[in-house]
């Protein structure tokens, strides 16, 4: 196959993508070691994981595995269909009650993924003449939901409250206005200014939705998320969205909030009505994980301490970690080439870490996106920072 043209000949012009350096290899993690940040990677062997979303290190936890196995024994691996028809099990109702209680909400609805939760909820809650105001760095699934809703989509500069106020001022007050932010930004690790954003929403009568994919289990003394982090009441967020695929080691998404809103979503959200229910072992795993977080909040505190230590060490070494505060440490490298070379330097030394390049992040801000979990020891973190520092000095990142 040959590719020398400047645009792809079609959506599967593989030669073009290879030539442009856009061809993506899916790394295969062939074994995990429960309770440890070590994984086995096909063709590479054992590696120290610094790119996991499983912030609390709960993948493979015996209580969660047992719950999933019991659910398979009782219900099998799938459901009889979508939730609205024959797909609802007691496990789904229990999961919704658990996450509602965890988030201090009246009720909740569970979806098959966080992506589906976002696109279905936003498109169900908004209509054509409404205005939806998103932070510039909101997750792609939020943007897709806004596009699907057909509402007027406007963006405000990242975490810039003056700009948000301007956007709210410009929005048509005759129709609904909704502000949507991420709790913790997945590529930058900074936290939405919830008190400031809530105050603006109150001033303009706008609804507030927060995506807690990276803040559930991560923020707050007991891991309940962004309201706890800021010492605010659960009512500070109207539409509380999150996933069961990160700190909670399963799959699925949720929205929690007022009971009436949840009933409306169960009747209107197309991803709930037209897509299969969460499989029994996954629902059971999420329930067990929520229980574990409640029973053993020390895991949340350990994650917060380990992350703060990691961030301090990176800053002391001179890395640019932007305004990161939680979950995700961006290690800015500048050019794409430097980011890829630094990633390879780490990978060759047994550190699993990934480079994030434009268009996912702005040009000139290519970075490594590093995460730690509650399972990382101080020695693991020291080792990774040493490897990163050595590579960065060699490549001129530092
Ligand atoms: C901020 C954010 N929202 C939503 C999602 C989608 O969640 P899921 O992977 O459960 O579909 C992700 C996934 O990475 C995310 O980072």
Condensed to tens digits (0 to 9), the pLDDT of residues 197-240 reads 999 999 999 999 999 999 999 999 999 999 999 999 999 999 99
Letter string b/e over residues 252-269, b meaning 16 or more CB atoms within 10 A of that residue's CB: bbbbbbeeebbeebbeeb
Active-site residue 214, yes or no? yes
| d(CA 233, ligand 1 centre) in Å | 24
- Say which of 61, 103, 214, 376 is annotated catalytic: 214
Ligand 1 center to 115 CA (angstroms):
6
Count other Cβ atoms within 10 Å, centred on residue 127: 12
Does the pTM exceed 0.85? yes
Compute the mean pLDDT over every residue in the chain, rounded to the nearest whole number.
96
Instruction: Tell which atom from ligand 1 comes closest to the C-alpha of 252.
Output: 10
User: With the C-alpha atoms ordered 5, 6, 8, 14, is the resulting torsion angle positive or negative?
Assistant: positive
What pLDDT does 4 receive?
64
Enumerate the β-bridge partners of residue 46. Answer: 40
Q: Are strands 131-135 and 38-41 parallel, antiparallel or unpaired?
A: unpaired
Tell which wins on pLDDT, 271 or 2: 271
Give 309: exposed, middle or buried? Use CB within 10 Å, 0-12, 13-18, 19+: middle
Q: Residue 316 above 60 pLDDT?
A: yes
Cis peptide before 237 (omega within 30 of 0): no
Q: Pocket of ligand 1, candidates 181, 245, 249: which has the most ligand atoms within 8 Å of its Cβ, to mutate?
A: 245
Q: Residue whose CA is closest, atom 15 of ligand 1?
A: 213
> Which residue's CA is the nearest one to ligand 1's atom 10?
114
Angle, alpha carbons 132-133-136 (nearest 5°): 135
Ligand 1 neighbours (beta carbon < 6 A): 113-115, 118, 139, 141, 182, 186, 211, 213-214, 243, 245, 253
Q: What gap in Å lies between CA 77 and CA 187, rounded to an integer?
A: 34
How many whole angstroms from 114 Cα to the centroid of ligand 1?
5
Q: Quick one: pLDDT at residue 1?
A: 47
């Amino acid at each position: 196959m040959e590719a020398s043209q400047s645009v792809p000949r079609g959506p599967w012009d593989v030669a073009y993508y290879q030539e442009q350096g856009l061809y993506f290899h899916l790394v295969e993690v062939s074994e995990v070691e429960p309770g440890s940040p070590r994984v086995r990677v096909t063709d590479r062997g054992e590696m120290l994981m610094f790119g996991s979303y499983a912030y609390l290190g709960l993948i493979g936890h015996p209580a969660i595995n047992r719950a999933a196995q019991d659910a398979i024994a009782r219900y099998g691996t799938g459901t009889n269909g979508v939730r609205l028809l024959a797909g609802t099990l007691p496990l789904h109702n229990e999961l919704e009650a658990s996450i509602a209680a965890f988030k201090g909400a009246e009720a909740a609805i569970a979806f098959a993924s966080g992506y589906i939760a976002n696109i279905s909820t936003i498109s169900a809650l908004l209509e054509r003449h409404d205005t939806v105001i998103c932070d510039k760095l909101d997750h792609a699934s939020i943007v897709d939901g806004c596009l699907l809703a057909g509402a007027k989509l406007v963006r405000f500069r990242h975490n810039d409250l003056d700009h948000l106020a301007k956007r709210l001022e410009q929005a048509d007050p005759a129709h609904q206005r909704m502000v949507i932010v991420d709790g913790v930004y997945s590529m930058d690790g900074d936290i939405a200014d919830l008190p400031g954003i809530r105050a603006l929403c109150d001033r303009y009568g706008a609804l507030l939705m927060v995506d807690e994919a990276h803040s559930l289990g991560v923020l707050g003394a007991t891991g309940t998320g962004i309201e706890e982090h800021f010492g605010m009441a659960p009512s500070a967020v109207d539409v509380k969205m999150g996933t069961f695929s990160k700190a909670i080691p399963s799959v699925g998404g949720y929205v929690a909030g007022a009971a009436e809103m949840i009933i409306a979503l169960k009747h209107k959200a197309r991803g709930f009505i037209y897509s299969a229910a969460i499989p029994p072992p996954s629902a059971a795993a999420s329930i067990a994980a929520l229980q574990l977080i409640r029973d053993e909040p020390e895991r949340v505190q350990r994650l917060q301490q380990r992350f703060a230590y990691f961030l301090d060490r990176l800053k002391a070494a001179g890395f640019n970690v932007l305004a990161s505060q939680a979950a995700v440490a961006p290690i800015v490298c500048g050019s794409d080439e430097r980011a890829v070379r630094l990633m390879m330097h780490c990978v060759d030394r047994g550190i699993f870490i990934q480079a994030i390049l434009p268009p996912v992040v702005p040009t000139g801000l290519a970075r490594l996106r590093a995460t730690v979990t509650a399972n990382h020891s101080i020695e693991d973190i020291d080792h990774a920072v040493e490897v990163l520092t050595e590579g960065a000095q060699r490549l001129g990142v530092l």
